[in-house]
């Protein structure tokens, strides 16, 4: 069977931070914090690691080991937590991929999810 199952054996000894399953990691503290809120709203207890490092500004150094990350408190929540995050990330990338809108006033390109022109602040939705 190999060694792949060994990390799960620690489960019987109780919850320890280093055996918890990580579901999300990002250099951007606000993003990790957003995911934490999202999961907690869904009733999934999570723990943020490296939070103090993140808020102290040390993540200006791009070392992934120091990035804030989220772990599920209960292993059985892992797949649910992951699907919530996955759904959110897909929504996020869909909005980034939204076709751009050209402002009718100043002809500047705007991302598809913008309501107002970044350049002249015209209402993009009123374009007809
Ligand atoms: Zn404009």
Pair type for strands 69-72 and 46-49: antiparallel
pLDDT of residue 41: 97
pLDDT of residue 58: 57
Contact between 25 and 37 under an 8 Å Cβ cutoff? The reply is: no
Please name every residue paired with 110 in a beta bridge, in sequence order, or none if there are none: 101
Cα–ligand 1 centroid distance for 31 (angstroms): 29
Neighbours of ion ligand 1 (CB under 5 A): 103, 105-106, 108, 117, 119-120, 122
Cα–ligand 1 centroid distance for 105 (angstroms): 5
* Each residue's pLDDT tens digit, 90-111: 888 877 777 888 999 999 999 8
| Percentage above 70 pLDDT, the chain | 77
Whether the model clears a pTM of 0.85, i.e. scores above it, the answer is no
* Each residue's pLDDT tens digit, 65-75: 888 999 999 99
């Amino acid at each position: 069977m190999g060694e792949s199952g060994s990390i799960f054996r620690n489960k019987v000894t109780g919850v320890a931070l280093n055996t918890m399953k990580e579901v999300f990691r990002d250099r951007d503290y606000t993003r990790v914090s957003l995911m934490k809120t999202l999961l907690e709203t869904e009733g999934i207890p999570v723990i943020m690691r490296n939070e103090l490092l993140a808020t102290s500004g040390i993540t200006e150094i791009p070392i992934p080991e120091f990035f804030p990350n989220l772990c599920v408190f209960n292993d059985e929540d892992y797949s649910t937590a992951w699907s919530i995050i996955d759904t959110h990330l897909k929504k996020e990338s869909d909005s980034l991929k939204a076709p751009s809108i050209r402002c009718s006033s100043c002809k500047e390109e705007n991302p598809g999810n913008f309501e107002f022109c970044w350049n002249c602040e015209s209402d993009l939705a009123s374009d007809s």
